[in-house]
Amino acid sequence: MYKSFSMELAGRTLTVDVGRVAAQANGAAFMHYGDTVVVSTATASDKPREGIDFFPLSVEYEEKLYAVGKIPGGFIKREGKASENAILTSRVIDRPMRPLFPKDYRNDVTLNNLVMCVDQDCSPELTAMLGSAIATAISDIPFDGPTASTMVGMVDGELVFNPTSAQREKSILSLTVASTKEKVIMIEAGAYELPEDKMIEAIFAAHELNQKVIAFIETIVAEYGKPKHDYIKCDTPEELYADMVAFITPEAMEEAVFTDVKQVREENIRVITDKLNERYKETHPEWIPLLGEAIYKFEKKTVRKMILKDHKRPDGREITQIRHLAAEVDILPRTHGSAMFTRGQTQVLTVTTLGALAEIQKLDGIDENEKTKRYMHHYNFPSYSVGETKPSRGPGRREIGHGALAEKALVPVLPPEEEFPYAIRTVSEVLESNGSTSQGSICASTLSLMAAGVPIKSMVAGISVGLVTGETDDDYIILTDIQGLEDFFGDMDFKVAGTHKGITAIQMDIKIHGLTREIIEKAIYRTKEARTYILNDIMAPCISSPRPEVGPYSPKIVQIKIDPTKIGDVVGQRGKTINAIIEQTGVKIDITDDGSVSVCGVDSDSIQKAIKLIQTIVADFEEGQIFEGKVISIKDFGAFLEFAPGKEGMVHISKISKERVEKVEDVLTLGDMVKVVCLGKDKMGRISFSIKDVK
């Protein structure tokens, strides 16, 4: 027997079946939100994984196309690797869950979410977030939950919770907030330049709704929750830690880590590690494998103490001070647009490529609103950027996540397709990294788009602030522009991108059990101050506005409108006509169902030639119109001319010349280009043309 629990959530019914499916998992929830169905499970290994110094959590979000009544494309006809949306959803599920597991827990844990049915008005992503929280909370896996999540939109100035498909289409905000019983633990947002105060209002409206969901989950846990199992605690032995600190001394560790050069710090830590290896190889060889985690703990305590108590940052900056910034454009001579943005030891070069609308990305997923993507942002993080050596295996989840964040930040300022009929791709190459590469990629991408002549509405800049907390909620310090070490040892990476007008994207990662409203408000307004400085003092002096036109190596696109009923004439049977135009002119042609025709090419003359051919094909021949055609056939009674592929007409022998013509071949030869005037319809209803009457 199983039991169902239900609540009304944003006007729809959320139902959780416990004990119905996946009985061998540590915890399982059969989730229904409207007609969306997700199976969420939590499983853990019996023992810790040996030889690791981190918590091995895996989160999977599996999209099955049967959920929306589709058969997968391709030859194999089954789902393959995870889609970009699935990877991003896994990351959003992971971020609020990970901090709530014990810090010394080393057992493998997998949270799996299988999307089995989709109601487009009830987000499967949200359902999976709730499902993972419930499955883990009722399991025997140690977990300091539950959490709850809410999605927020804004339609006509009003907040809407867990918006429907129609509301998502109109919304200027896409916000997801996860909460514990006391605090906000995760924020993910995309917005169309939403002011900071409106964003804060939306965050805490979601937090309030989350409390109702948490109360609902607690009723399930109270009835079906398992006792949490014991586990082997993986922590540094106290004797080792005490001896190490006494031998190295806190002063020496402070001197080792407090430098603004990452390589120097790493070398200092290597020297300390060598000293400790030498010290223990004879007396305590069993401690040698534990040194990495012990030194990490010592280093972390040193950095956190100096920041929190002495307001001293590792590189000597003030708490609100941004690292040295630099920006430049046109780094690469023949690409469509390029720019480089440098922040301390973080350096990102972004390249913009423009293409015809036919090159937009087609999406084959479970969201019916997301079928194509006109703007694509890709982010690459090679090992050399952090001084390491390892082969590239393609983008991982982190790279995909950072690329999506920058994409989300820039979409709100891109020109509409009608104004700028291009597919747009930006690629951010991280050349050097010491923290905040995702925000550097946003700045570099903005500059690159402007250099490429993309008429973006406003410049976008991104900045990240960090946090170090003490024993109480009031004991904390917020750091502007965190570098790698501060991110590594700190409690928060709060990334915010936006324009002068407002926020376009947020992503918040934390390692503690949530943030108070005071911390969130201060962090958001701190990023606004930093963003304003970057936009005004660094980016604007580099390039103040988008270039008035695309560059010489960029494709040129001209759009015209034709009668939609004439699309078939332009395409021709089996594409014969349009392919002939492309072959003659070397352009690319895209036609939409509403009669919008985009002609793309590098050479303006070729574009104009193609447009003229298309306009000729769709023209209704009327008396007095002048055309130019090529002689393609000669008969005794006249000549046939081709004005455009698939568009032909005839000139009678009597209309070739003002002089008497005995034979057509005496005046015309195959391939001749001649001007003609339309004479209208003859007695049989055919269109006739004249060469001799051209004025």
By the 10 Å C-beta count (0-12 exposed, 13-18 middle, 19+ buried), 89 is classed as buried
Q: Tokens 């056939």 map to which residue? A: 633
Express each pLDDT in 120-159 by its tens digit: 999 999 999 999 999 999 999 999 999 999 999 999 999 9
Average of pLDDT values for 391-411? 93
Give pLDDT, residue 282.
Answer: 86
Average of pLDDT values for 152-168? 97
Whether the pLDDT of residue 394 is over 90: the answer is no
Give pLDDT, residue 418.
Answer: 87
Whether the pLDDT of residue 368 is over 90: the answer is no
Whether the pLDDT of residue 682 is over 80: the answer is no
With residues binned 3-state (H G I as helix, E B as strand, rest as coil), the percentages for the chain, rounded to 5, are 35, 30, 35
Please tell me the total number of residues recorded for the chain in this structure.
Answer: 695
CA distance 471 to 273: 30
Give pLDDT, residue 491.
Answer: 95
Coil, helix or strand at residue 527: helix
Binding-site positions read 487, 493
Give pLDDT, residue 406.
Answer: 97
Give pLDDT, residue 661.
Answer: 87
Average of pLDDT values for 255-259? 90
Whether the pLDDT of residue 380 is over 80: the answer is yes
Whether the pLDDT of residue 686 is over 80: the answer is no
Percentage of the chain with pLDDT > 70? 100
Average of pLDDT values for 96-100? 97
Express each pLDDT in 533-576 by its tens digit: 999 999 999 999 999 999 999 999 999 999 999 899 899 888 99
Give pLDDT, residue 680.
Answer: 83
Q: Using alpha carbons, select from 195, 177, 174, 173 the residue that is nearest to residue 531.
A: 195
Give pLDDT, residue 614.
Answer: 92
Whether the pLDDT of residue 324 is over 90: the answer is yes
Task: Tell me, letter by letter, the H, E, C secondary structure of 348-384.
Answer: EEEEEEEECHHHCEECCCCCCCCCEECEEEEEECCHH
Express each pLDDT in 479-531 by its tens digit: 999 998 999 999 999 999 999 999 999 999 999 999 999 999 999 999 999 99
Whether the pLDDT of residue 683 is over 80: the answer is no
Give pLDDT, residue 235.
Answer: 83
Detail the DSSP E strand segments found in 470-619.
Answer: 476-480, 492-498, 503-510, 556-561, 588-591, 596-601
Angle at 47 between CA 41 and CA 50, to 5 degrees: 115
Give pLDDT, residue 369.
Answer: 81
Whether the pLDDT of residue 391 is over 90: the answer is no
CA distance 112 to 90: 9
CA distance 642 to 630: 5
Give pLDDT, residue 496.
Answer: 98
Whether the pLDDT of residue 161 is over 90: the answer is yes
Express each pLDDT in 215-233 by its tens digit: 999 999 999 999 999 999 8
Give pLDDT, residue 253.
Answer: 94
Give pLDDT, residue 225.
Answer: 96
Give pLDDT, residue 610.
Answer: 93
The winner for highest mean pLDDT among 81-90, 390-399, 651-660, 680-689 is 81-90
Express each pLDDT in 443-473 by its tens digit: 999 999 999 999 999 999 999 999 999 989 9
Structure tokens at 456: 């973006």
Mean pLDDT over the full length of the chain: 94
CB 136 within 8 A of CB 143: yes
With cut-offs at 50, 70 and 90, classify the pLDDT of residue 643: confident
Binding-site positions for Mg(2+) read 487, 493
Domains of the chain plus CATH, in order, are: 3-224 (3.30.230.70), 238-310 (1.10.10), 325-542 (3.30.230.70), 556-618 (3.30.1370.10), 625-690 (2.40.50.140)
Q: Tokens 């000549």 map to which residue? A: 639
Whether the pLDDT of residue 628 is over 80: the answer is yes
Q: Which residues contact 310 (CB under 8 A, 6 or more apart)?
A: none
Express each pLDDT in 582-595 by its tens digit: 999 999 998 988 99
